[in-house]
Amino acid sequence: MPSFKYIIVNKDNKQLTGVVDAPSVETARQDLQELGFSIVSIEEIKGKEKDEGGVIFEFKGIDKENRKISGTIKSESRFQAFKRLISEYELDVRYVVQSNLKPKDKTKQIEEGVKDLMKKYQEEIRKKTDLFHKKKLKQVDRNFEKQKALVMRQVDFVLNRVNESVDIFAKDLNADDKQRIKDYVNKILRLKNTTNLEYLKKSTEDLLKFLQKAEIFVNKKTRIKDKLRLYADSMDMIDHIEKGKDFGVYQDLEEQILRWQSEHIKGKKKNEISIVDKIKSIYYGILLKIIHQPEEIREINKELEFLNRELKQYYNVYLKSKDTNYKKEAIKSIKKLREKKSALKEKLNKLKKEESKKNKEEGELNFFEKIIEVINGVTGWLLFFYLVYYFVSGIIISKNIIFEFYEIPSIFFLFQSGLIKYILPIVFLLHVITSIKLYFFKKNLIADMILYPGFTIIALIIVFNF
């Protein structure tokens, strides 16, 4: 059969070249036009030229018009042929086999399909996405970079969930729905390198909305629990994408701080850490000291957060779904989750009481006392810096040191400003009150009743009468 070399333009105005086998040039031209391509040139390959240009592969697929397409394509490898068919020709490829294989090997490869090729293609897309982020890191706006990373996490999360759902409901899905889901997934994978994040998000939402309307939901009386779970998850994922919220495991504030420290502080030399990160590290260190909780209490808080998310999903289903089967099942799920939540809260309160008792016996500070300790430390440092500033400013002003021939900057007269006259005595008083509390009346409730109201009254007198 003659081979024809062609140059065409696809719907994205991209010029493509290739070789097609056909009985005549008219047939070859017609086949290409039916695929929606504009033909620039087409000519028959003759002589030695026919043997050049790679290996011939036979393929079968479905185009966007849901037509079955089969033919041959020349390429360096089976994978390269698959890539061209899926990205340039936009076919849903069913198989790609080398034409000169033995009939037995060819039949086996046709039966296996393109799972291995699709896996390799997805991995290549992921690598390209990572490379894109690295190359564009210094070029794109930081906000866009964060948004891109968020959307990529959302897309990966949705694709994983969709793959799981397709596996679970494989028997319930008809051929058309399976094909539509594949088309959506392939489209999203192609769009992962795009900068049009809104279009990528919309395509991901469209996939989730189609999944909710697929054939598996027509008969809602069978496997109602699994279907409700999938329906609720889909609603939740759509909500996350629309509101720009992240997916993944809930992390409390302590975990977020520890993760930040591991990324920005740990393993780095002092000269490699920026001043901003050093200040943040001090602040986060103080915060960690206040909010630290035992591991068991933190785990229960995580479980409660997860339960709250599930409850929200089922409440949404109950309020938004028009299907009575879903509403009934949602009510059952809500009751079970509320019971579980109540039991966890009871366990949490018990653990907190035990922890409080243990801390009292060991003389550890409670949450309120930790805050007092932090305030005492901060006010102490503020007073120290003020004293240093006061003496340095006094010497510079009185001795004309450094600025002997120039006007002394106003910053060195800051201690004479009215604002400092209000702030300094209040800071000093707060330091004194917290020191008395920590060092003399740590567990004394009567002292609390005297010290804190006393501080408030004196601070008000300073503000209004100074």
Same domain, yes or no, for 81 and 172? no
Same domain, yes or no, for 203 and 283? no
Residues 6+ away with beta carbon under 8 Å from 14: 88
Same domain, yes or no, for 394 and 335? no
DSSP 372: H
Contact in structure between 154 and 191 (CB atoms under 8 Å): no
- Edge-to-edge strand list for the sheet holding 15-21: 15-21, 3-9, 38-44
What pLDDT score does 335 carry? 92
The vertex-100 CA angle with 94 and 102, nearest 5°, equals 85
C-alpha to C-alpha distance for 71 and 1, rounded to whole angstroms? 12
Same domain, yes or no, for 340 and 392? no
Of the candidates 96, 91, 327, the one whose C-alpha atom is nearest the C-alpha of residue 231 is 327
C-alpha to C-alpha distance for 306 and 312, rounded to whole angstroms? 10
In-domain check, residue 268: yes
Digit-by-digit pLDDT tens for the chain (466 residues) are 677 777 777 666 666 677 777 788 888 788 777 777 777 778 887 755 555 557 888 888 888 778 788 777 878 888 888 888 887 777 888 899 988 888 888 888 888 888 888 888 888 888 877 766 666 555 555 667 777 877 888 888 888 888 888 788 777 777 888 888 888 888 888 888 777 888 888 888 888 888 877 656 555 556 777 777 777 888 888 887 887 776 655 556 777 777 777 777 777 777 777 777 777 787 777 777 767 777 788 788 878 887 888 888 888 888 888 778 888 888 988 999 899 999 999 998 888 888 777 766 666 666 677 788 888 888 888 888 888 888 887 777 776 666 554 456 666 666 666 667 778 888 888 888 888 887 787 777 787 788 888 888 888 887 777 5
In-domain check, residue 190: yes
Same domain, yes or no, for 9 and 97? yes
In this structure, the number of other CB atoms found within 10 A of the CB of residue 45 comes to 17
What pLDDT score does 47 carry? 59
Same domain, yes or no, for 228 and 146? yes
In-domain check, residue 248: no
What pLDDT score does 278 carry? 78
Same domain, yes or no, for 195 and 281? no
Contact in structure between 112 and 90 (CB atoms under 8 Å): no
Contact in structure between 60 and 95 (CB atoms under 8 Å): yes
DSSP 341: H
In-domain check, residue 246: no
Segments forming the whole domain that contains residue 50:
3-113
Same domain, yes or no, for 266 and 219? no
Q: How many structural domains are present in the chain?
A: 4
Q: Given 209, 240, 271, which residue is the final one in a domain?
A: 240
What pLDDT score does 405 carry? 43
What pLDDT score does 399 carry? 67
Q: Given 217, 240, 263, which residue is the final one in a domain?
A: 240
CA-CA-CA-CA torsion sign (220, 221, 227, 229): positive
What pLDDT score does 342 carry? 92
In-domain check, residue 247: no
In-domain check, residue 19: yes
C-alpha to C-alpha distance for 330 and 342, rounded to whole angstroms? 18
Q: Given 360, 379, 404, which residue is the final one in a domain?
A: 360
In-domain check, residue 232: yes
Same domain, yes or no, for 188 and 258? no
